[in-house]
Amino acid sequence: MNKLFHGASKLKVLVGMIVSGFIGAIVIAGLVVAWIAIPSALASHASVPDRRLAALTVNTVASTEVPSILPVGGVVINHQFLLKPPTALQMKSGLLTQYEAITAGRKYAETQPAGAAAILTSFTSINSIAPANVKNASRPIQDVIAWVVTFTTDNPQDVIQGGRSRSGQIQQSHVPKYFNVVIDANNGQFVIGFFTS
């Protein structure tokens, strides 16, 4: 009787191992299929133009850095930030001066970079604007009269956090030379900060 019980027990263990192995193989196959589908899904999404970007950036110049003088149509920095000349309505008395904006911006530049410049703009963060079909509770940063204070560092540092990207590849380093702090020209409050090369 003991041999029979022992044999049935071995059979149950063997069946359990086979079922577990089969389930494991299905899970692994599903993960592999999903992993393979991610790049193609991202590639197909990348080919769809962002309507927010297209609508906001008509007649603008693309740039990777904040300019010292804004062209008439404005500039788009790295497809993320729109800087246009301020409108006549935005240009009112009581705005921060360039010196006051640089002083306010230094509070947010931890390394106290060597050089600083500021340009008065009508500032928009394109990614803060929800697409038309999305009800977003966040507050968009759009057409804010602001000083973009650009700090130039003599000792650029890598700003990438973490070692690997989602695809498992080691991320390339990003060593920007400029740190830009956007300061609301009405009240001196911090709006947003971003790096440029």
Which of 60-69, 128-137, 141-150, 181-190 is least confident?
A: 128-137
pLDDT per residue as tens digits for the range 97-116: 999 999 999 988 765 556 89
Q: Which residues pair with 194 in a beta bridge?
A: 180
What value does the mean pLDDT of the chain take?
76
Q: How confident is the model at residue 77 (pLDDT cuts 50, 70, 90)?
A: very high
Q: How many CB atoms lie within 10 A of CB 141?
A: 20
Q: Which residues contact 83 (CB under 8 A, 6 or more apart)?
A: 66, 67, 70, 74, 75, 76, 77, 119, 121, 122, 123, 148
Q: What pLDDT score was predicted for residue 41?
A: 40
Phi, psi of 17 (to 5 degrees): -65, -40
Beta bridge partners of 117: 150
List the strands of the sheet with 61-63, edge to edge: 61-63, 75-77, 81-84, 115-125, 144-152, 178-184, 190-196
* CA distances to 65, 87, 97, 121 from 91, in Å: 24, 6, 12, 10
Q: Could you read off the pLDDT of 32-57 as tens digits, one per residue?
A: 344 444 444 444 334 445 666 677 88
> What pLDDT is stored for residue 155 in this prediction?
62
Q: Is residue 74 scored above 70 in pLDDT? A: yes
CA atoms within 13 A on the CB side of 27: 6
pTM: 0.66
- pLDDT value of residue 132: 72
β-strand pairing of 75-77 with 61-63: parallel
Q: Distance between CA atoms of 96 and 101, rounded to whole angstroms?
A: 6
